[in-house]
Amino acid sequence: MAAARIKGVLSPVVTPFKRDLSPDVGRFVAHCKWLLSQDCGLAMFGTNSEANSMASEERMELLEKVVAAGVPTDRMMPGTGACSIVEAAKVTAHATKLGVGGVLMLPPFYYKGVPEEGLFRFYSEVVQRVGDDRLRVYLYHIPPVSAVPITHKLVERLLKAYPKQIAGMKDSSDDWPHTRSMIEAFAKDGFDVFSGNEKPLIENIKAGGVGCISATANINPGKIAETYKAYATPEGEKLQGWINEVRGVMQGYVMIPALKYCIAHYGSDAAWTPVRPPLVETDEKTGKDMIAKLDKLGFTMPGLKQAMAVAAE
């Protein structure tokens, strides 16, 4: 029997680093477990995880340690994209063998203006090299960062060639009409579309999408998950307005260091602030301004302090 597809709210889990910039396994595991306790899945090694500042061996080792710590794999969708076919296939095969629910795969993003045929060959080569029936690929469309879009025609070709392996998409275009067009074109074929943030969450579900994968689910997972579950109710509409306000605050800052500052503040754990260059930590003045705006919204991170206390022991 095939495993159930991932749906709902997922977080591109931010990666805590020690002062020497090595991954902090204890805090990473604690954050993953806290997110799951808030009914939020794990899209670790995504954009907000600083995955492209990490070696493939680091990602693979960290994933192994999270699994060894008892974190369930069925709600994991680790990022496995790379510019190198060899690296993408290696990391994808490793994650699939560990039993993850799916992988989130960037297109090869270094060369710009590449033809659809080249992208088709890249994804095709990775799928064939992995050669595992359990593989479920979620295409990662993030043109504001990658500048290499995943087109409707490419999705159509990949679904035709690999209907079992090509499972869906994260659309981080921040363009709801585009996301909706992907749902309308391919949801009938079992292609699951996640919006790249929570702002159109209710619209996404009503249109036939399956949820969202959002940076701010790192700090606001519970309320976003509640919105997903209550999408057809007045309470859901009210929650949507509030989570959008939180998102609006966070979009006023550099997202990755800002998320880490929030976790450090609400988790009472200053060790969360380091980022890998070229990113730079949020300074105290900026951080206090952000926290004041969040507090004004009545924002909290329930249970985080206790989760981080265990990690710090």
What's residue 310's pLDDT?
A: 77
CA distance 34 to 169: 25
Q: Which residue numbers in the chain have pLDDT < 70?
A: 1-3, 312-313
Which residues have C-beta within 8 Å of that of residue 283, sequence separation ≥ 6?
A: none
What's residue 47's pLDDT?
A: 96
What's residue 212's pLDDT?
A: 98
Q: For residues 195 and 182, is the Cβ–Cβ distance under 8 A?
A: no
In a domain, 3, yes or no: no
Q: For residues 197 and 212, is the Cβ–Cβ distance under 8 A?
A: yes
- Report DSSP state, residue 301: -
In a domain, 1, yes or no: no
Q: For residues 267 and 219, is the Cβ–Cβ distance under 8 A?
A: no
- As annotated, the binding site includes 213
Q: For residues 263 and 11, is the Cβ–Cβ distance under 8 A?
A: no
CA distance 123 to 215: 25
In a domain, 158, yes or no: yes
In a domain, 97, yes or no: yes
In a domain, 150, yes or no: yes
Which residues have C-beta within 8 Å of that of residue 21, sequence separation ≥ 6?
A: 274, 276
Name the residue range of residue 74's domain. Answer: 8-312
pLDDT digits (tens, 9 = 90+) for 57-111: 999 999 999 999 999 999 999 999 999 999 999 999 999 999 999 999 999 999 9
In a domain, 203, yes or no: yes
What's residue 82's pLDDT?
A: 97
Q: How many folded domains does the chain comprise?
A: 1
In a domain, 2, yes or no: no
pTM assigned to the model = 0.96
- As annotated, the binding site for pyruvate includes 213
Phi, psi of 265 (to 5 degrees): -70, -55
The CATH number of the domain holding residue 55 is: 3.20.20.70
What's residue 309's pLDDT?
A: 86
Catalytic residues: 140, 170
In a domain, 193, yes or no: yes
CA-based nearest residue to 25, from 53, 55, 77, 67: 67
